Amino acid sequence: MWLPKTDATSKGKKSGSVAVAIDNDKTSKIALKWTLENLTSRGQTLALIHVAPKSQSSSDIEEGTMHMQHMDKQTKDLFVSFHCYCSRKEIQCLDVLLEDVDKVKAIVEYVTISAIENLVLGAPSRSSLMRRFKTDLPTSVSKAAPDFCNVYVISKGKVSSLRSSSRPAPYHPSVLSDFDFENKPKIGKRVLLFHYACCLLAFQAMFKISLLGV
């Protein structure tokens, strides 16, 4: 069910897997703070999803290497800036870095494959007139997200819109509960991307089998 406007005092239900889409903007931090207060409990695992543009191929190897190093540091700093909020609430973080030119597609695919039941996004800023001509990411994600996922859009610390789920997630657990934080390795971007690619292939195989009626 799609609710363009909801009661500003609406609170989420503290159950199910949770993910927050983040970027280099104030609205992402506001969305995370709301999530920690309304959707998570101490000790829970929260996925932080960031979509970076695909690396452009370059004929200059040195230039390409410098670009990747800059991207790695920039991305690492981004995730770290969100970790402090989670640690205060004793929430575990799973950093999910996706590379795609289509942010909506990348987020929706990850949510579908990982059986994310609650997805939170910050409302787009309206401070610039030019933003009117840009794609409204939260609205596009809300429309394309699987029907087992609640999609919350947060503005100024309150729920500005909610697309409620219409059925339970198809399977459990999600990748969030599979992650071993007791022996958490140092995960790099390529490892996360490889994990995501494997999940995608597995999901596609399952989907083909179901269509064949096997």
Give 95's strand partners: 48
Q: Are 38 and 14 in contact (CB under 8 A)?
A: yes
β strands within the chain, DSSP E: 2-3, 18-21, 45-52, 92-99, 118-122, 150-155, 158-163
Q: Would you state the structure tokens that stand for residue 103, as one six-digit string?
A: 């942010």
Instruction: Count the residues in the chain.
Output: 214
Could you read off the pLDDT of 47-87 as tens digits, one per residue?
Answer: 999 999 876 554 554 554 444 555 678 888 999 999 999 99
What pLDDT does residue 134 have?
55
The ranges assigned to domains in the chain are 2-212
Q: For the domain bounded by 2-212, which CATH number is listed?
A: 3.40.50.620
Model confidence pTM above 0.75: no
Compute the distance between CA of residue 109 and CA of residue 144 in angstroms, rounded to an integer. Answer: 10
Distances (CA, A) of 176 to 65, 83, 90, 117, 154: 31, 16, 15, 11, 22
Q: Which residues contact 119 (CB under 8 A, 6 or more apart)?
A: 18, 19, 20, 21, 107, 111, 141, 145, 149, 150, 151, 152
pLDDT classification of 5: cutoffs 50, 70, 90: very low
